[in-house]
Amino acid sequence: MHNPMKTTLATLMSLALLPAAATANPVVAPHAGTVTATTYYSSGSFHGAVDISSGKTCGVDPVKVAVKGMLAWNVTIRTTAKVCYGNGSGNQNEVKHTFANGYTFRQWHFLYDATLSQDKTCDRCAIGREGGTGNVTGPHTHLQYDKSGTNSTSWYAGTVKGEYLETGDAIGNVG
């Protein structure tokens, strides 16, 4: 005899055992500009990230978090000065989010803004202005996705050096 309660419970239990689909978060341009580096620098050395430069004077363009989705962001400010052409490796301002898969999305080099540059949970919120904090040759935004010190390059497949992006144009997916 058919037991509807047992069938319903069995169906619910089987659904509970299905793996949850991974959520992909789109990464979009945090400000308008040209992609100046991706997997390799012009010198041929490994870079493993996307760099975008507006080509404007330092501190002009606002920078938004590049990942779409309501996420918790940790902001680390290593310098509050207006730095446009570098102040040494390790001195970059950073905003980051670590996903459930253990990968961390990092965004570097923005200029500190007392009202914007703080930990927050948001979807594409402003974090500062385009700058050059850290080890840089000029103002730009660095977008990196890594796990245990190893940069992933597959997340931005199709984004190429020299490409011009408007704010919000697609770069790739993470998460």
What domains sit in the chain, N to C, each tagged with a CATH number? 24-174 (2.70.70)
- Kindly write down the DSSP assignment for every residue of 54-75, as one continuous string: --S-TT-SEEE-SB-SSEEEEE
pLDDT at 166: 98
Q: What is the DSSP letter of 147?
A: E
Q: What percent of the chain has pLDDT over 90?
A: 82
User: What is the CB neighbour count within 10 angstroms for residue 49?
Assistant: 21
Please work out, in degrees rounded to the nearest 5, the angle formed at the alpha carbon of residue 146 by the alpha carbons of 140 and 148. 135
pLDDT at 127: 96
Residue 6 has pLDDT above 90, yes or no: no
What's the predicted TM-score (pTM) here?
Answer: 0.86
* pLDDT (tens digit per residue) in 92-138: 999 999 999 999 999 999 999 999 999 999 999 999 999 999 999 99
What is the predicted pLDDT for the residue at 81?
A: 94
